[in-house]
Amino acid sequence: MIRYFGNHVEVQPGDQVETRVWFTRRKGRIVYVPGISPLNAQFEFNGLKWVAIRSGGMLIGSIVDHRSGTLKKRVRFIERDDSPFEGVPDDPRVFEKGGGGWSP
């Protein structure tokens, strides 16, 4: 179970979130959650796990703290959204093609 920093809200695919990329705040939607979404090697590698956030045409990866099971505090939960969404493509070069970024 992966949670948002500082609370007990579990991260779910489709959640509306706000995150900071460099110095810019971006709103987006969770499109990949390790352990819930179908396995994608782009987001689970060598014991590390990332949650994927789609913001506009960009994918943003946010690492999961392996000790606490939480996201960094820069990813803030806004609301749960059960409407349909476009998931992460099963493509090993998705970041190269889409201009995505990682959120350290």
Residue 36: both structure tokens together: 């819930």
Residue 92: both structure tokens together: 């090993």
Q: Which domain holds residue 51?
A: 1-85
pTM, full prediction: 0.82
Q: What is the pLDDT of residue 59?
A: 86
- Residue 43 within any structural domain of the chain: yes
Overall number of domains in the chain: 1
- Residue 80 within any structural domain of the chain: yes
- Of the candidates 58, 76, 84, 67, the residue with the CA atom closest to the CA atom of residue 9: 76
pLDDT band at 102 (very low <50, low <70, confident <90, very high): very low
- Residue 101 within any structural domain of the chain: no
Q: What is the CATH number of the domain that holds 74?
A: 2.30.30
- Print the SS3 string covering 44-64: EECCEEEEEEEECCEEEEEEE
95 pLDDT above the threshold of 60: no
- Residue 64 within any structural domain of the chain: yes
- Residue 103 within any structural domain of the chain: no
Q: What is the mean pLDDT of residues 48-73?
A: 91
- Of the candidates 78, 19, 22, 26, the residue with the CA atom closest to the CA atom of residue 51: 19
